[in-house]
Structure 1
Amino acid sequence: MPVAIVVAVVLSAILEVLDSTVVNVALPHIKSSFGATTDQTTWILTSYIVSAVVVMPLTGFMARRIGRKRLILSAITGFALFSMLCGLAWSLGSIVAFRMGQGMFGAFLIPLSQSILFDSFPKEKRGQAMAMFGLGVVVAPVMGPTIGAILTDAYSWRMVFFVNLPIAALALAMLTGELADSPTVKTRIDWAGLGLMALAIGALQYVLDQGQGKDWFASHVIQAAALISAVAGALFLWRAVTRQDNIVNLRMFGDANFAAGNAIIAGFAVAMFGAIAILPLFVQGLLGYPVIEAGYLFIPRGIAAGFSMVITGSVLVTRYDPRLLAVFGLGLTAASNFMMGGLNLNATFWQLAWPGVVGGLGMGLVFVPQSTLAFAGIDSSQQDEASGLYGVTRQLGSSIGIAVVGAMIVRGIATDTATLTGHVTAFSDTAYAMLNPLGLTPDTPEGAAVLAGQIAKQAAMMSYARTFNVLGWVAIALLPILLFMRKPATSGGAPIAH
């Protein structure tokens, strides 16, 4: 078993998935360091995600053109270089530009890591390799906020970028000596298709990332971006149907398992990563948890996800129908969100942590079986390209989830505040009952201020609870899609996709 390759590609994948979440915690520190506004700071995240999503579908094309080994070594080197530059950034504009470079090189790491593992192991050992791979790519993003909080609190926000350098160096050293060269194919670049795809995906990602801050379609910029995405996307799809040499082979979606697998992984990303995205805001902004303690909440989820990934990848997926495992995984994902939706303002640490454990167990039971099912009918020559498309689908699902929950929280708080204010007035028995233990009355400035604060907290709690419940129903709604998937002949040979 080529252990060095497994370790190296897991480290390569960790580089990308860890960096997508570890920076979040450091944003307030970066903001104060550069004197930036909140809207300007979000570009640190947006630039990375947009560039990664645009480049990721090109994985197969680039691997054929320059070779898989050369591509992954270049991707790791480029990612490390731009990570160092991010840590050395002297202004907001420079760090946004360097994050874009990070995203462009990091986009190749997950798809290539999957494909390399798929081709490097015999079928009887692929389950073990995939379990190790999944352990890295699932636990890393879940633990990202905790790692980011510790590094930022103990050292500086710059450390969240410098931490990538030793990981990249070790991965490079292992892959350089162990990974075999792959043949290259002279392939004509479809510049028109490439441009249309970049416009469609990039503009859509921009709408998802910036829509909430710009009040969605009330903004002419968001309207223009949505129109550009729709038109470019339609033209790109038309070219894909009418041409054989399109930059990305969308005919792979003709395979029912691959199409259904992409739909499920996108929906799962909405349900799971949408919840993970709002959890720090929920526990820090509303419940008042310190940054470090809020970061610790992710540790039980990460441990559960790692355990689930190993057991599912090395044992369960080889013994049971992957579709049945996915049913349990989606059920646990739904239960996790419903548990969060049932909490109140007095929730304790473990009341917040246990839903994470349930959700973490569900992650392994969804990721591994879905990858097994989705890639069952994909030819080995198309693995790089299929992995790239699968990664884009997951990323867009995650972005949609984050955008949707953000909009739901903001609009829900406004609606619930208005509703509660209408029912709780200075003359209502409810107001007097709430303030009486404090020795206050609602007709005094002090009492009115306390009453307004309680209404705001209750409205926010109602909005968060409703959002978590909606995400639970999203997971349930994915179950019928499994009916369109065929059970693969073997369960051990498909790559796990993050």
Structure 2
Amino acid sequence: MARTTAQTESAPTLVVKNKGLLTAALMLATIMQVLDTTIANVALPHMAASLGAAQNEITWVLTSYIVAAAIATPLTGWLADRLGQKRLFLIAVIGFTVASALCGIATNLPEMVVFRLIQGLFGAVIAPLAQTVLLNINPREKIGQAMAIYGMGIMVAPIIGPTLGGWLTESFDWRWVFLINLPVGIAAVFMLWAFMPATEITKRRFDFFGFGMLAISVGALQLMLDRGADNFWFASTETWVELGLVVSGLWVFVVHCLTAENPFIDVRIFKDLNFMLASVMMFVVGITLFSGLALLPPLLQTLMGYPVIFSSVMMAPRGVATLLSMVIVGRLSGKVDPRIMMLFGTGCMAYSLYGMTSFNLQMDYWPVVTTGVLQGFGMGFLFVPLSTMAFSTIAPRFRGDATSMFALVRNMGQGVGISLVTAVLASMMQVNHAELAARLTATSQNVVNQMPGLLTASPQITAIINGMVTQQAAMLSYLDDFWLMLMLSLAVIPLILLMRGPRIPERELTDAEKALERAHAMGD
């Protein structure tokens, strides 16, 4: 039987020169990489104008990064064994920083897409590798606090990304969205080189076939989700081909990992109940967190008419609340059952989403701020204990593969979530528009009482009425998305209850108690 729990296998805590400065370096690199998943969103219109790209083409700036990162993330465990954690981390941060500089000086769309692909390939290993190092340099009783620090970067960075990106774009230029990574990357490289210890290199054979199958499956899934709406989903041959690649690639990958002697990913990590359930929950967290971040900017700017900077500032309190809750969780770690904190965090998120289902076009900005603060506060109470529970029972020798897979499911949740809410939004806008328009008939009592001249009005008035119907239909479609996210948040509650609680270490006996036991044994 495979040893997949910490009770059956242990590893000594890695000794470092200065754990505080090393942790700061790890988080500096992680925040830099995670920020780039959302910081460029608000700058897309400016990029399109500068690079001479159409609006539907400029989205490849986001897609290319997501696809590259999704494919390269599972490589983290093997590369760390082959190159050593320190060498890999330095290569990744240097490569990401150079690619960021190239993105900042790109002159056309093809150049930007290529540079973003390179940025995604190097950046993919930073977050999971940082998590692995934090797990290795902290003893078991400090893992909760370490995951709280890690969570601050993973959760807060994408939330403040649109705010920082909007400010840089409006105050300076969209190119600074990428160029800001240069001083951060350089500082991280020097700190990592000075404080990160070298680790043992393992000559682990590379499973080209397993990686190829996983890469095909992940890449095809991301392309299907990103391009599905433009291709009218399953009315397109391309979508069916991509779905076939997803299913066949994943099936072959799983069978190969179960039967190969040295598979690319050791699937025994999923025999650990906590890790398996936490992975499913992290997938849902990826959907709810990043979907909300993708929905709110167009809702605030397009329907409510807020400027870019103000709409970005309205989302900033969410990040502050997440930061505050993670500090609190770090203090509570080891004192409160992680499952209780996760239930509290999920409850906060669900209640905030329920509040978002009451949004309307006549409200001011306060409901957006208050629901965002509540959701951000709950996210901290969910993410940190979830990461702690996921790795609390996993064997240390599986940490490399486990952290890369954990990052992969989070990234895939992000991709699936954004594509899902976008598809629901587009579909429900048509449905809601049709239902609202159907009520504006000559026989409708409301029309007769309130708008008797509607059907005989001028084309200009009819166009205004149609615009109002379209606006209301769009608002209702956003509410439909919020209801969907609420249902997903509630659906993961049973998974929390199924997790195993933290193992309470046995108390070491005092000398007097040991002597008393020996006396009893001699008496028997």
TM-score by length of 2: 0.90
Letter in 1 for 2:475: M
Q: Which residue of 1 aligns with 2:519?
A: none
Corresponding residue for residue 494 of structure 1: none
Decide which of 347, 350, 363 is 1:334's aligned counterpart. 350
The answer as to 2:371 corresponding to 1:374 is: no
Tell me the distance in 2 between the aligned counterparts of 1:442 and 1:133.
Answer: 63
1:490 offset after TM fit, Å? 6.1
Distance 2:313 2:60 in 1: 26
Aligned to 1:470: 484
The 5-angstrom pairing of residues 411-450 of structure 1 reads 411-425=427-441, 428-431=444-447, 443-450=457-464
Aligned-pair distance for 1:89?
Answer: 0.7
SS at match of 1:21: coil
**How far 1:444 sits from its partner (Å)?**
2.4
In structure 2, the residue matched to 1:86 is 103
Match of 1:244 in 2: 261
C-alpha deviation, 1:164, in angstroms: 0.6
- What is the deviation of 1:415? 0.4
Partner of 1:399: 415
Q: Distance in 2 between matches of 1:357 and 1:214?
A: 37
d(CA) in 1 for partners of 2:391 and 2:448? 62
The alpha carbon displacement at 1:470 in A equals 1.5
Residues in 1 aligned to 2:143 and 2:251: alpha-carbon distance in whole angstroms? 38
Residue deviations 1:178-227, cap 9 Å, x none? 01000111121111112111101111111112212221122222221111
Using the alignment, how far apart are the partners of 2:419 and 2:21 within structure 1? 39
**1:48 aligned to 2:65?**
yes
Partner residue, 1:483: 497
Match of 1:218 in 2: 235
Partners of 1:58 and 1:248 within 8 A in 2:
no
How far residue 342 of structure 1 moved from its aligned partner, in angstroms, is 0.7
CA 368–176 in structure 1, closer or farther in 2 if over 3 Å, else same:
same
Matches within 5 A, 1:130-141: 130-141=147-158
What is the match of residue 521 of structure 2? none
**Larger Rg over CA atoms:** 2
Q: Output one character per residue of 1:414-466: Cα deviation in whole Å (capped at 9) or x when no partner.
A: 00101111101356453466669xx9886222321221111111111111112
Structure 1 window deviating more from structure 2 (8-17 vs 379-388): it is 379-388
Q: Partner residue of 2:283?
A: 266
Alpha-carbon contact 2:342-2:386 (below 8 Å) kept: yes
Aligned residue in 1 for 2:401? 385
Q: Distance in 1 between matches of 2:157 and 2:289?
A: 15
* Contact map agreement 1:57 1:385 (CA 8 A) in 2: yes
- Give, in angstroms, the shift of residue 122 of structure 1: 3.0
Give the structure 2 partner of residue 26 of structure 1.
Answer: 43
Q: What does residue range 323-362 of structure 1 map to in structure 2 within 5 Å?
A: 323-362=339-378
**Contact in 2 for aligned 1:426/1:443 (Cα 8 Å):** no
CA distance in 1, matches of 2:106, 2:333: 45
Matches within 5 A, 1:289-304: 289-304=306-321
Partner residue in 2 for 1:200: 217
8 Å Cα contact 2:338/2:386 also seen in 1: yes
2:82 corresponds to 1:65: yes
Residues 1:315 and 2:352 aligned together: no
- Is the Cα–Cα contact under 8 Å of residues 194 and 247 in structure 1 kept in the other structure? yes
Return the letter of the residue paired with 2:246: S
Q: Distance between the aligned counterparts of 1:433 and 1:237, measured in 2?
A: 64
Which residue, out of 251, 256, 259, partners 1:234? 251
**Cα drift, residue 40 of structure 1:** 1.3
1:163 and 1:431 map into 2 onto residues whose CA distance is 56
Q: Please, which moves more after superposition, 377-386 or 297-306?
A: 377-386
1:49 partner letter = I
* 1:351, distance to aligned residue in structure 2 (A): 1.3
Are the structure 2 counterparts of residues 268 and 433 from structure 1 closer, same or farther at C-alpha, using a change threshold of 3 Å?
Answer: farther
Q: Note the residue ranges of structure 1 that are not aligned, 5 or more in a row.
A: 492-498
Contact 1:31 1:37 in 2 (8 A): yes
Aligned to 1:103: 120
Which residue matches 1:365? 381
Q: Against the structure 1 CA distance between its residues 372 and 127, is the aligned structure 2 distance closer, same or farther, given a 3 Å change threshold?
A: closer
Letter of the 1:146 partner, please give it: T
- Alpha-carbon RMSD across the aligned residues, in angstroms, is 1.7
Q: Is the 8 A contact 2:160 2:316 kept in 1?
A: yes
Alpha-carbon distance in structure 2 between the residues aligned to 1:418 and 1:441: 17
Q: Is the 8 A contact 1:30 1:157 kept in 2?
A: yes
3-state SS in 2 of match to 1:319: coil
Letter in 2 for 1:118: L
SS, match of residue 38 in structure 2: helix
Secondary structure of the residue that 1:297 maps to in structure 2?
helix
3-state SS of 1:375 partner:
helix
Secondary structure in structure 1 of the residue aligned to 2:120: helix
Distance in 2 of aligned mates of 1:257 and 1:477: 17
Structure-2 separation of matches of 1:137 and 1:196: 28
**C-alpha displacement at 1:366, in angstroms?**
0.9
Gaps of 5+ in 2: 1-17, 506-524
CA contact (8 A) 1:78 1:102 kept: yes
Q: What's the CA shift for 1:128?
A: 3.6
| Distance in 2 between residues matched to 1:3 and 1:157, nearest whole Å | 34
Aligned residues: 488
Give the aligned residue type for 1:92: L
What are the superposed Cα offsets for residues 378-433 of structure 1, whole Å, 9 maximum, x if unpaired? 12222221110000001111111111110111110100101111101356453466
> Per-residue deviation at 1:100?
0.5
The reply to whether residue 451 of structure 1 matches residue 465 of structure 2 is yes
Structure 1 residue 249: Cα displacement: 1.2
What corresponds to 1:257 in structure 2? 274
Preserved CA contact (<8 Å) 1:442 1:451: no
- Take 1:474 and 1:130, find their aligned partners in 2: how far apart are those partners? 24
Residue aligning to 1:188: 205
Identical aligned pairs, as a percentage? 38
Matching residue's letter, 1:406: T
